[in-house]
Amino acid sequence: MDQRLLSSSEADPVSVPRRILRKGTHSCAECKRRKTRCFFENTAATICVGCQRRGTACIGQEFVDVPVSRRDEDPPTGERLERIESMLQRLTDKVFSSDGSSILSDASPPQPSFGRPSTEEADPDPVSEGGYSHSQAESSKKGKTSPRIYPGGTAARAQGESYQPEAIPGPIQYAPSHLFSMCQTLHSAFPCQDDVNILFEAGRATIYLQALCNSYRELFEQGKSLSSNVLSAIPPETVHPVLLARKLLHLSLCMQQLDPSFDRRSLQLQQGLEEAMQGYFHLATSLVTCHDELLNSLEGLECLICEAVYLVNCGNLRRALVCLRRASTLAQFMGMHRKGSRTSLKQHDPATRVSGDVTWAHLAYLERYLSLLLGMPTSISNAKFGSHDKTSGETDAEWFERTQVDICELIINRGQLSGEDSFNTTMEIDATLTRVSNSVSSTWWTPMDLDPQMNVDEVMARVISGQMQIVHYNMLTIVHLPYLLRQDAGSRYDYSKTVCTYASREVLNRYITFRSIVRVVYCCRLVDFCAFTAALTLLIAHLSGHGRNSSWLPAHQRVGDRNLAEKVIETLEELNRLNHDELSKETAKLTRKLLGLEAVAARNGSIYRCSVRDEDYNPDGRGMDGPFHLKIPYFGTVWLEPNSPTPTDSVFIPPLPDLDNESGHVSEPAATSSVTLDLPRRPGEREEELLSTYNASMVQESADMDFLDFAMPDLIAEANDWAFQGVDSAFFDSVMAGYTLE
């Protein structure tokens, strides 16, 4: 805009009369007169591209009257176009108000207050991803009409113009009139811009948010990532509600990634961080993402993905799977499942950066892997994502992730087979996993370590690779899990048993290193469920192997495996202390319980058998005496029952050495039928827990173990009510699929 005119208007506001503009007006006077798009070459430009090309003055419509067109430009044509636009707008408003869409605005709840101060000041900031600046967003939040909202997001688009699918060109699409009430409710929930800036920066989630829908190569190697200053700009309340919901979900994800040591005193929030985070998420999901008619755009698909990732991070796998299947259906409606599709898709913001191919592959990765963990069939079937060899320009992480998507489906489909077909398919999947792991450089497999000189993008790349490694070994465990307890006359299944225990050790070792660096449990939550599966696998393998001359589980590995399990317990308890996390707490309890049971089995030379029984099953009429039982919702009660070995099968297992009180110790067995155990504890914990050897009543056990008897949760219960979410039922279902009681 002409700087001379601006300066004169600021010095003497009376000299330049201002017009009252209609809401949403953003074009300069000349572009308005010519009916052309008004946009700027960069954020520092004061004259729009059109006026630069024409050599005309760039003056806002609020400062001068639009001059009359020259006679040779046919002024009646412009007037007729204006009348047509006005008629179309009135007709559109009438159609929307008569078809029931206004129910959305009528159903909006009262405007919530999430702690934004009453007075807010904002400084000029860079243009955001949606083409609006911080100062414009703040003026909109104060109820003022921003005189110039520059659409297009030129600063953002300059960094990533090759993204697919192609965007429909045009300015930001503003909300229809019947959604204004919803937009005001969403917009009023945002904290002040300063708080949003702090949360986006402190959460270190800027690159994480972009990696959900964009390729790792462009973000980590080509540097085409947006800064936190660009992503943190709050949209004005005039934009479509899906854009406001997306920003609230981004804010919630950033707050999830905050380190436990974050000092909230730097914020102006009037309530706790967790309460605010849950409030932002609930508002976005209850007003926007629950309405399918608001999600028919790339931004709507991005909102569903963000919602699912938030739920996964919370440990709510079942709700996340429901959300992911909604997102996959929407993506298929958009044609993302078609190879080479170049369809232009609807966007409310032309600066939205969503790669269709990457988004579809990432959706399938999450949906299939959650389905695998929960023991369910996938809804994305017969779709291949990976290639046999890595293509040019494809990073190791990208190629590895896409092959994991395909392997997930192979494992899920293998579960529908039986007998020889199942075993042959297992060996084929094992060979595929081996080939894939050998196709990636050995340096990629090094345990996760961080250099203090690394920037945020490099750290996130290492975190993503670390999670993929843990998931790889978890898949290897799940592939061979049906043969862990299966007995045969020869040694046909020994390879599967060896691989199963080896992969479990790899998961636990890498998990301990991973969680010593990434202490926020809401980041990469899937690795916690991998550790849960690995701990169960390793301890049940030892419980079933005592008293047998097994070549696949030598006795000298027992001490090392127990030490590994104790370190995992310490890691889980520390995570629970820092994050108050239900999954970490319950996994530590169950692991400690099985660890104590394994110590008893080693001393008695007992072989434990696994079975699923009715809840009223009482072995040998001893009530709760003897076996270990675990009630699993919607599955049954899993029993681990001891069976004394025959003298010819028994082997000597030396007792564990006494350990100091810092790590716990196991006492020598007494002459009676019970053994007193001090279970592994956190360093510094001095309490002793007296356990039975399962010949005493389990009712008399410590109250810490009462989690084994819980009320039946809802089918889609949250993690606080159902920590394991059904991963435990999928685990034992797989174990029992290949195990028959003798």
> What backbone torsions phi and psi does residue 536 show, to the nearest 5 degrees?
-60, -45
Domain-terminating residue out of 74, 98, 122: 98
Q: How far are the Cα atoms of 113, 141, 235, 338 from residue 190, in angstroms, in the given order?
A: 9, 9, 10, 38
Per-residue pLDDT at 555: 81
**Residue 114 corresponds to which amino acid?**
F
User: Does residue 150 lie within any of the structural domains?
Assistant: no
User: Does residue 120 lie within any of the structural domains?
Assistant: no
Count CA within 13 A, CB hemisphere, residue 453.
0
Range 377-400 average pLDDT: 90
478 lies in the same domain as 620: yes
Highest mean pLDDT among 80-84, 141-145, 240-244: 240-244
Residue 298 vs residue 705, higher pLDDT: 298
Strand pairing of 628-632 and 607-613? unpaired
Per-residue pLDDT at 330: 96
How far apart CA 218 and CA 716 sit, in angstroms, is: 37
> Looking at the predicted structure, is the pLDDT value of residue 523 above 50?
yes
> Looking at the predicted structure, is the pLDDT value of residue 291 above 90?
yes
Per-residue pLDDT at 697: 35
Range 28-45 average pLDDT: 81
Q: The domain containing residue 87 runs over which residues? A: 3-98
308 lies in the same domain as 180: yes
> Looking at the predicted structure, is the pLDDT value of residue 614 above 70?
no
User: Does residue 700 lie within any of the structural domains?
Assistant: yes
> Looking at the predicted structure, is the pLDDT value of residue 606 above 50?
yes
Residue/partner pairs of 382-386 with CB below 8 Å, 24 or more apart: 383/337, 385/361
Highest mean pLDDT among 26-35, 60-69, 303-312, 411-420: 303-312
> Looking at the predicted structure, is the pLDDT value of residue 159 above 70?
no
Per-residue pLDDT at 602: 85
How far apart CA 235 and CA 242 sit, in angstroms, is: 11
Domain-terminating residue out of 394, 428, 462: 428
How far apart CA 52 and CA 280 sit, in angstroms, is: 42
728 lies in the same domain as 625: yes
How far apart CA 167 and CA 354 sit, in angstroms, is: 9
Per-residue pLDDT at 624: 40
420 lies in the same domain as 508: no
Count CA within 13 A, CB hemisphere, residue 253.
31
Confidence of residue 143 (pLDDT cuts 50, 70, 90): very low
Residue 181 CB neighbours (<10 A): 18
> Looking at the predicted structure, is the pLDDT value of residue 651 above 50?
no
Q: How many domains does the chain have?
A: 4
Residue 316 CB neighbours (<10 A): 23
Per-residue pLDDT at 12: 46
Per-residue pLDDT at 459: 87
413 lies in the same domain as 466: no
Confidence of residue 547 (pLDDT cuts 50, 70, 90): low
User: Does residue 607 lie within any of the structural domains?
Assistant: yes
Confidence of residue 109 (pLDDT cuts 50, 70, 90): very low
Question: For residue range 467-480, what is the model confidence (pLDDT) as tens digits?
Answer: 999 999 999 999 99
Question: For residue range 337-351, what is the model confidence (pLDDT) as tens digits?
Answer: 988 766 788 899 988
Confidence of residue 110 (pLDDT cuts 50, 70, 90): very low
Helix/strand/coil (H/E/C) assignment for every residue in 36-80:
CCCCCCCCCCCCCHHHHHHCCCCCECCCCCCCCCCHHHCHHHHHH
> What backbone torsions phi and psi does residue 666 show, to the nearest 5 degrees?
-115, 120
Residues in CB range of 351: below 8 A, 6 or more apart: 129, 130, 131, 152, 153, 156, 157
Contact 552, 542 (CB under 8 A): no
Distance of CA 181 to the CA centre of its chain: 30
Range 655-667 average pLDDT: 34
Residues in CB range of 379: below 8 A, 6 or more apart: 325, 328, 329, 367, 371
Strand partners, 636: 632
Range 383-400 average pLDDT: 89
Question: For residue range 260-269, what is the model confidence (pLDDT) as tens digits?
Answer: 888 888 899 8
Strand partners, 60: 28
Question: For residue range 221-252, what is the model confidence (pLDDT) as tens digits?
Answer: 888 888 888 899 999 999 999 999 999 999 99
* Torsion, CA 449, CA 453, CA 456, CA 462, rounded to 10: -20
Percent of residues, the chain, with pLDDT higher than 70:
72
**Residue 31 corresponds to which amino acid?**
C
How far apart CA 156 and CA 159 sit, in angstroms, is: 6
327 lies in the same domain as 403: no
Highest mean pLDDT among 484-488, 610-614, 735-739: 484-488
How far apart CA 608 and CA 597 sit, in angstroms, is: 10
333 lies in the same domain as 398: no
Range 509-531 average pLDDT: 93
Q: DSSP secondary structure string, 271-339?
A: S-HHHHHHHHHHHHIIIIIT-GGG--SHHHHHHHHHHHHHHHHHT-HHHHHHHHHHHHHHHHHTTTTST
- H or E segment at 498? helix 494-517
> Looking at the predicted structure, is the pLDDT value of residue 452 above 60?
yes
Range 665-672 average pLDDT: 31
Per-residue pLDDT at 280: 97
Contact 129, 235 (CB under 8 A): no
Angle 356-374/727-737 helices, nearest 10 degrees?
70
How far apart CA 592 and CA 612 sit, in angstroms, is: 21
User: Does residue 418 lie within any of the structural domains?
Assistant: yes
Average pLDDT score, the chain: 77
> Looking at the predicted structure, is the pLDDT value of residue 692 above 60?
no
516 lies in the same domain as 620: yes
Per-residue pLDDT at 470: 97
> Looking at the predicted structure, is the pLDDT value of residue 168 above 50?
no
Residue 146 vs residue 609, higher pLDDT: 609
User: Does residue 364 lie within any of the structural domains?
Assistant: yes
Domain-terminating residue out of 338, 353, 374: 374
365 lies in the same domain as 404: no
Highest mean pLDDT among 42-51, 96-105, 197-206, 498-507: 498-507
Confidence of residue 548 (pLDDT cuts 50, 70, 90): low
Confidence of residue 662 (pLDDT cuts 50, 70, 90): very low
> Looking at the predicted structure, is the pLDDT value of residue 714 above 80?
yes
> Looking at the predicted structure, is the pLDDT value of residue 30 above 50?
yes
Q: 60-69, 509-518, 623-632, 633-642: which has the minimum mean pLDDT?
A: 60-69
668 lies in the same domain as 540: yes
Per-residue pLDDT at 615: 59
Q: 407-416, 485-494, 614-623, 725-734: which has the minimum mean pLDDT?
A: 614-623
User: Does residue 721 lie within any of the structural domains?
Assistant: yes
How far apart CA 298 and CA 313 sit, in angstroms, is: 23
Range 20-37 average pLDDT: 80
Confidence of residue 48 (pLDDT cuts 50, 70, 90): confident
Range 90-105 average pLDDT: 55
Residue 170 vs residue 359, higher pLDDT: 359
82 lies in the same domain as 191: no
621 lies in the same domain as 516: yes
Confidence of residue 51 (pLDDT cuts 50, 70, 90): confident
> Looking at the predicted structure, is the pLDDT value of residue 97 above 70?
no
Helix, strand, coil share of the chain (percent; to 5) = 50, 5, 45
Residue 201 CB neighbours (<10 A): 16
User: Does residue 254 lie within any of the structural domains?
Assistant: yes
